[in-house]
Chain A
């Protein structure tokens, strides 16, 4: 078995391992399909029907419909693939990424302008540092 204990110990972070790439394969391939304008159009017209064309789990489909990005990470989504979904919604990285932090877009932008999130307290769950 591969030992993921160190990378799983990073707080608030989901490392996109090969296991997650396997579990999220169809979810991420669906996201990539949104790189074509005609697919974006079809998706926008009926999101549920478009999702049903993909062999994704019900949980994955629901998380897409909810735009629940933290949930999508947990279900094997990778942020660069998920970016095709929020790009289709016309959101920037900052707008979409801030939704995962519990901050408003304005609060998040302000944090970035002030030098970003400090590493202190965000290194290790087990050590609390």
Chain B
């Protein structure tokens, strides 16, 4: 049977991708950001999954406003990196796992999560920056990836609770897949940031750190936090953090923290990063 072996969360700041692509990771500004991922890179090499279910949001790249699916799953063989206006990132094509993706879609829909299935999905920095942070520069990503895109751009976004429950449903879906696969669930985005209007540049370290603590010890309570609190306390774009609750829901009741990192700033954003694994109940 397939099983969920670990969860990762990370910010997916586009400038981090640009720093990697342009060879700036050793510069004074970027060094402390990448230092926070050194532990993870080593861990990732020693614990290769077969598949990563990567929860992210599209930033007006593959999904226009023509259709705004709340949750969508990529069921294709391959996902191409987008040109977001600077030219496509020089990163490998992302290989999917159609069999598991379709199984998850079916399981979720029968579990009353009406997810949109995508046969075509170009992926932007929201998906490729986390892969670069964990796997560095490579010819081929060392894992297959199932993208799950969440609408966090147009209000109303799904609730934190819906995301938490989606994570639980993903766990049920994975555990009912007959092949023996090691599957990780990643939640990306955040932490506090606002990139628009006169309040741009907002960072709320206290709130971010409390969010990580509660995600570990009180996810049920954290899941009840309403949108307005994210928008007000973590910035208009900080609401991406609801996607971290998908990872938390997928890991089960008890988790063990392997690694935690927090740094300000990367571009306009507070960077947060967690590596957790399910613990025996």
Contact = CB atoms under 8 A, between A and B. Distances in A.
Nearest to A123: B232
Given A7-B231, A14-B196, A78-B60, A92 B155 contact: no
Contact of A17 (B18, B86, B155): B155
Interface string A16-43: 1110010011001101101111001000
B201 A83 contact: no
A21 B198 contact: no
Contacts of B233: 119, 123
Contact of A16 (B61, B154, B202, B228): B154
Contact of B265 (A6, A15, A32, A112): A112
B51 interface: no
A124 B232 contact: yes
Contact of A111 (B201, B204, B228): B201
Is chain A's interface secondary structure helix, strand, loop, or mixed overall?
Answer: helix
Interface stretch (B77-85, B95-103, B134-142): B77-85
A98 interface: yes
Nearest to A69: B196
Interface in A105-119: 108, 111-113, 115-119
A70 B156 CA distance: 21
Contacts of A65: none
Contacts of B60: 28, 31-32, 78, 80-81, 83-84
Nearest to B154: A21
Contacts, number: 158
Give the size range of A's interface with the partner.
35 or more
Contacts of A85: 85
Is chain B's interface secondary structure helix, strand, loop, or mixed overall?
Answer: loop
A14 B197 contact: yes
Contacts of B87: 37
A36 B83 contact: yes
A97 B201 contact: yes
A100 B155 contact: no
B205 A97 contact: no
Contacts of B227: 7
A63 interface: no
A28 to B, nearest CB: 5
A87 B86 contact: yes
Interface string A59-80: 0000000000110010000111
Given A15-B236, A18-B154, A94-B268, A115 B205 contact: yes
B14 interface: yes
Nearest to A111: B201
Contact of A93 (B156, B192, B267, B270): B267
B198 A101 contact: yes
A97 B196 contact: yes
Which of A70, A83, A111 is the most central at the interface, judged by chain B CB atoms within 10 Å of its CB?
A83
A113 B199 contact: no
B153 interface: yes
A-B pairs, top 8 by smallest CB distance, nearest first, are A116-B203, A87-B85, A12-B199, A12-B198, A80-B59, A117-B201, A80-B60, A81-B60
Given A7-B227, A28-B65, 18 more contacts: A6-B228, A15-B155, A16-B153, A17-B155, A18-B154, A28-B64, A70-B197, A78-B65, A78-B153, A79-B237, A80-B61, A81-B60, A83-B60, A92-B267, A101-B199, A115-B265, A117-B194, A123-B233
11 contacts: A16-B155, A35-B83, A92-B267, A101-B200, A112-B201, A115-B264, A116-B203, A116-B264, A117-B202, A118-B203, A119-B207
